[in-house]
């Protein structure tokens, strides 16, 4: 139970952990998301929020759905940098693995903060479900790659290109690593990624192909869809001619 607030060095409310790794471990054990509160001793809005919002009964009740931890940005620069904290107070909802799900910055009154936390809980559930689906898809893709026949590799590439456009870094990396492997043997399979609707995915694919085909690879990922489609077709012909 969170009681009175101690406005000490990190303006840490009573009952909040200050050990980030321990909070992650507790979250994993109890299958809870993490609420990370980035604060500082010199932060006026943090002091106000600690006195008011974080002692509100509705807030305290909602916090039961989290493993919650206060992080002093002056003492833990690395964590502040990792999660892109540029102002305090900043709150991050994380998965038990430490993946960032949602964030808010600045003073929050109790009602608004409860709503944000409640939405965060829903977003964590969606993130976990998406990660589980990703694991299943990745396992299926790995099986397709093992088969090495053209149809299986084509199917694997199509699924990996979709994953390369995901917003989560871990999913992007896993997809990119496998696309890199495919590009070593069949770069034409990866070409279609240059028509992906997301710029980030197109950039990853272009980097992969440039590493395999050299600096002469010249498809502009910023170009309009029609221009990119034409360039992809030209490169498909070039690669076919080399076989």
Residues that are catalytic: 43, 46
Q: H helices of the chain, where?
A: 20-30, 44-51, 57-63, 77-82, 110-147, 150-164, 169-185, 188-191, 199-213, 225-242
The secondary structure of residue 13, as a DSSP letter, is: B
SS3 assignment, position 40: coil
Residue 135 token pair: 């694991």
Residue 205 CA from chain centroid, whole number? 19
Residue 113 token pair: 């903060």
Burial class (CB in 10 A: 0-12, 13-18, 19+), 137: middle
């Amino acid at each position: 139970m969170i009681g009175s607030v101690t406005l000490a060095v990190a303006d840490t409310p009573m009952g909040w952990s200050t050990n980030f790794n321990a909070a992650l471990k507790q979250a994993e054990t109890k299958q809870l998301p993490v609420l990370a509160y980035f604060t500082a001793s010199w932060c006026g809005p943090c002091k106000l929020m600690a006195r008011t919002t974080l002692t509100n009964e509705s807030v305290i009740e909602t916090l039961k759905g989290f493993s919650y931890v206060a992080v002093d940005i002056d003492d833990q620069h690395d964590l502040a940098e990792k999660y892109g904290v540029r102002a305090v107070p900043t709150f991050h909802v994380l998965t038990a693995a430490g993946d960032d799900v949602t964030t808010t910055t600045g003073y929050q009154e109790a009602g608004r903060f409860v709503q944000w936390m409640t939405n965060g809980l829903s977003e964590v559930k969606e993130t976990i479900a998406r990660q589980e689906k990703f694991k299943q898809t990745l396992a299926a893709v790995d099986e397709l790659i093992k088969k090495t026949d053209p149809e299986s590799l084509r199917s694997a590439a199509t699924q990996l290109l979709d994953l390369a456009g995901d917003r989560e870094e871990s999913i992007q990396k896993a997809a990119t690593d496998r696309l890199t492997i495919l590009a070593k043997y069949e770069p034409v399979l990866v070409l279609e990624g240059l028509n992906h609707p997301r710029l980030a995915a197109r950039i990853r694919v272009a980097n992969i192909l440039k590493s395999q085909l050299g600096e002469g690879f010249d498809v502009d990922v910023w170009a309009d869809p029609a221009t990119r489609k034409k360039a992809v077709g030209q490169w498909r012909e070039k690669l076919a001619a080399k076989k």
